[in-house]
Structure formats: structure tokens, C-alpha cells
């Protein structure tokens, strides 16, 4: 019996070694989809040419290629405090800026407006660029504006960011009180959801409040997306999903994309920043600064120590898979929208390490393929039908 167990252990170990050795080839064979990236706002609009490898931020075309990314969702985002007016124009300006990048690199990347176009583009060895609108403020409460952005290529709308809209409330505000009064979708909000269903545009509930979440579940006839959020049970942050929400997501047939932000992965992240700040500067942190502000003041060495271990990301994936099933977990890195990434996943070029880590953790190649891209593509196609 002991000999048999030892033989099984040796076989299992051998499989693990083969997977680790072959992970780069396996990664290349996958259709890799990152469901959320903020490079438009952090680089492109600031005049940085992502056609070339950049020394800053997380994303550019050379690193997307190096990371084996086949489909990249580019987030179109605006802060309502700055864009209370002309938010719709700002959204279109961002799409214009992305289109200029695509026009400059036609041999490497192309806009995709459907699952069929994604297939065509990736078969040509190019990156399929998909647009996601992060924040319903950019439609300015207009269904006509929503349709215009859809026609320009937007394939999901993140209903809110960190502020309430006239027709939907966000997690950042909803979490401040237990009462449900004034929370969730208004009648206009429900009409917007129905229009998105009719268009074939995914409803994204990252940043959405709990009441908004359940109102959408009750209204939508299509599977929902939560493009870049994690498990609340592991890291109790209002941006993460509670177990009841995960159960509802599973019943709906939706997908949650795991977010790479250390603060959403590791409940000790902010505490660690404060400790490292004191270690570097010999005094308590500057409390006029947010944790993010203190993080940026740290040296490179201390920032790396503050970053969540990669194991924390894997724990969230394990937990989400346990709660919603392997067919409902994807990747929504939030690269270029976050200051701190897991150790080892410092930019988009490092994504093969995630494939390697999942294989070493015991996920089959088929399971890894689902997490790394197929689940996102499945929900996109189901929304199109």
C-alpha cells in the first residue's frame, strides 16, 4: 500500500514537473483574455506611445505580445468629479485615442466588435482589442448615448464607478449604510439594463452596490459580468463579492474576473504599507496621504515587499472556483488602474506566470484555458445571442 502511494506521488510530482516545464508552450496555446485594463487613461491619453515598450506602468503592445495576450479589454473611464459634464464626449475621445493606436499598429492589434471578429483577428496572430466602458456616467443617463458607444465597439458597461448615478448606486456609497433606501436601480436603470440585453452588451457589476447587483440579477435576461473583483470572504472590501452574491452569480450563469490589486487580494496590504513606511522613514506614515499615496513614497524594494504575494491571488481564484465553479472565473487584471500588483505579476508581460502557477496548483490544462480566457469569451457570446 505504501509502495502504491509512493508511486502515485511520484507520478503526480512528475506531471507537475512536466507542466511547470511546458507552461510557456501551454500558455501560448491558450486564448488569453484580460477583461479589464486602464492603459487608455494612464498612458495613451497622456501622450505615451504604447506601440513601443515603456519603462513605466503595466501595459504596452510589446508587453501584451510577450504576455501572450490574445484579447485585451481596454477600459474607457472618467472620474465623475472631473467630468460631471461632457462625460460622453470624454468617452468618445478615449475611443478616438485608442483607434489611433490601432491604426498605427494594424499588423499587431485590431478592434473586435463581436465573438466572430475576435476569432478572425486572433487566427491572424493579432491581438483583438475590445472596449469596455467603466462608469455609466459616460452615457449621461441617455440610452441613445449607450447605443452610440455600443456601435463604436463597447461590449460592456460597468454601471458605476465609486460614486452614485441618478439611475444606479455604487458599492463605495452603498456600503456606508445598512438601509436599502435610495439604493439600487431606478426605472431608468432597469430600462438601461434591458437595452443592454437587447444590444448584446454585457452588464458589468464591478463597483456596483449590493442592491444594484441584485436589481440587475432580477432584471437581466442575460448572464452578467463582474469584470474585476474578488472574494469578500477572503478580503472584506466593498469592491469584492460576498458569498450570497457569488451564489446568485452562479445561478445567473455569469462570470467574475479576478482583480490583481493587492488591496483587494490581501487584507493585510495597508497594514504592511504602514509598517514599511515607518521602517523606511523612521516615523509613522503621513496620514494626510491615502495608503496608495504612502505606497508611492516607498522605495522600489519596500514597494515590492508591500505587494501581495502571488499566493493571495491564487487563494482568491481557488475560493471563487469553489463557490461558482470553474466555468465562471476569469481574469480582469486592472493593470494600469492599480498601484500594486501581486509579486511576480508586475505587468502584463508576466501573465505566463499565472498559467504556470495554476498548473502547479493542480488545475488541468482545460481548467486553466477556461480561467485564462474561454469563460470570458463564453459570456460575451451568450450576451450576443
Q: What pLDDT shows up at residue 82?
A: 76
Per DSSP, helices labelled H in the chain are 2-29, 39-42, 61-66, 87-104, 115-123, 143-151, 171-174, 187-199, 210-219, 243-252, 262-265, 269-281, 291-297, 300-306, 310-324, 351-360, 365-369, 375-384
The three three-digit cell numbers of residue 163, written as one number: 460614486
pLDDT under 70 in the chain at which residues? 1-21
pLDDT tens by residue, 261-316:
999 999 999 999 999 999 999 888 777 788 889 999 999 999 999 999 999 999 99
The three three-digit cell numbers of residue 7, written as one number: 508511486
Question: In sequence order, what are the beta bridge partners of 158?
Answer: 134, 204
CA-wise closest residue to 332 among 316, 311, 309: 316
Cβ atoms of 328 and 375 closer than 8 Å: yes
> What is the pTM (predicted TM-score) of this model?
0.93
Rounded to a whole number of angstroms, the distance between the first and last alpha carbons of the chain is 53
| Helix 243-252 × helix 210-219 angle, to 10° | 20
Residue located via cell numbers 515587499:
305
pLDDT tens by residue, 214-229:
999 999 999 999 999 9
Q: Count CB neighbours of 308 within 10 A.
A: 26
Question: In sequence order, what are the beta bridge partners of 34?
Answer: 72
| Element housing 373 (H / E) | none
Residue located via cell numbers 468618445:
92
Q: For 190-232, what is the HEC assignment? A: HHHHHHHHHHCCEEECCCECHHHHHHHHHHCCCCCEECCCCEC
Per DSSP, helices labelled H in 30-156 are 39-42, 61-66, 87-104, 115-123, 143-151
CA dist list (Å): 322 to 125, 231, 333, 367 = 34, 11, 20, 13
Report whether CATH 3.20.20.140 matches the domain 2-266+308-384. yes
Give the whole-angstrom CA distance, residue 132 versus residue 235: 26
Q: What pLDDT shows up at residue 21?
A: 55
The share of the chain scoring above pLDDT 70, in percent, equals 95
CA dist list (Å): 152 to 114, 156, 195, 332 = 12, 12, 16, 22
Amino acid at each position: 500500500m505504501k509502495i502504491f502511494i509512493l508511486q502515485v506521488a511520484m507520478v503526480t510530482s512528475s506531471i507537475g514537473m512536466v507542466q511547470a516545464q511546458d507552461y510557456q508552450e501551454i500558455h501560448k496555446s491558450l486564448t488569453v483574455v484580460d477583461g479589464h485594463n486602464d492603459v487608455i487613461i494612464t498612458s495613451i491619453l497622456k501622450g505615451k506611445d504604447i506601440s513601443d515598450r515603456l519603462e513605466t506602468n503595466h501595459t504596452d503592445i510589446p508587453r501584451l505580445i510577450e504576455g501572450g495576450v490574445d484579447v485585451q479589454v481596454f477600459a474607457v473611464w472618467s472620474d465623475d468629479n472631473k467630468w460631471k459634464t461632457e462625460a460622453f464626449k470624454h468617452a468618445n475621445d478615449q475611443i478616438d485615442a485608442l483607434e489611433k493606436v490601432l491604426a498605427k499598429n494594424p499588423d499587431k492589434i485590431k478592434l473586435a466588435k463581436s465573438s466572430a471578429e475576435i476569432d478572425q483577428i486572433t487566427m491572424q496572430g493579432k491581438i483583438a482589442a475590445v472596449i469596455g466602458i467603466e462608469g455609466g456616467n459616460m452615457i449621461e443617463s441617455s440610452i441613445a448615448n449607450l447605443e452610440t458607444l455600443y456601435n463604436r465597439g463597447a461590449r460592456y458597461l460597468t454601471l458605476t464607478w465609486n460614486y452614485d448615478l441618478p439611475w444606479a448606486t455604487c458599492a463605495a456609497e452603498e456600503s456606508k449604510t445598512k438601509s436599502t433606501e435610495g439604493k439600487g436601480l431606478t426605472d431608468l436603470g432597469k430600462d438601461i439594463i434591458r437595452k443592454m440585453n437587447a444590444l448584446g452588451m454585457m452588464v458589468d457589476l464591478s463597483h456596483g452596490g449590493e442592491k444594484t447587483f441584485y436589481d440587475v440579477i432580477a432584471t437581466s435576461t442575460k448572464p452578467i459580468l463582474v469584470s474585476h473583483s474578488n472574494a469578500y470572504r477572503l478580503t472584506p472590501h466593498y469592491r469584492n463579492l460576498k458569498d450570497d452574491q457569488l451564489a446568485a452569480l452562479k445561478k445567473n450563469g455569469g462570470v467574475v474576473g479576478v482583480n490583481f490589486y493587492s488591496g483587494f487580494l490581501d487584507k493585510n496590504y495597508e497594514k504592511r504599507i504602514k509598517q514599511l513606511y515607518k521602517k523606511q522613514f523612521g516615523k509613522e506614515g503621513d496620514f494626510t496621504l491615502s495608503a496608495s499615496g504612502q505606497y508611492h513614497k516607498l522605495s522600489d524594494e519596500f514597494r515590492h515587499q508591500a505587494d501581495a504575494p502571488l499566493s493571495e491571488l491564487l487563494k482568491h481564484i481557488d475560493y471563487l472556483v469553489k463557490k461558482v465553479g470553474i466555468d465562471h472565473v476569469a481574469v480582469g487584471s486592472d493593470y494600469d488602474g492599480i498601484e500594486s500588483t501581486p509579486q511576480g505579476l508586475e505587468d502584463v508581460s508576466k501573465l505566463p506566470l499565472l498559467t504556470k502557477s495554476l498548473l502547479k496548483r493542480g488545475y488541468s490544462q482545460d481548467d486553466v484555458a477556461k480561467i485564462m480566457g474561454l469563460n470570458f469569451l463564453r459570456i460575451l457570446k451568450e450576451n450576443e445571442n
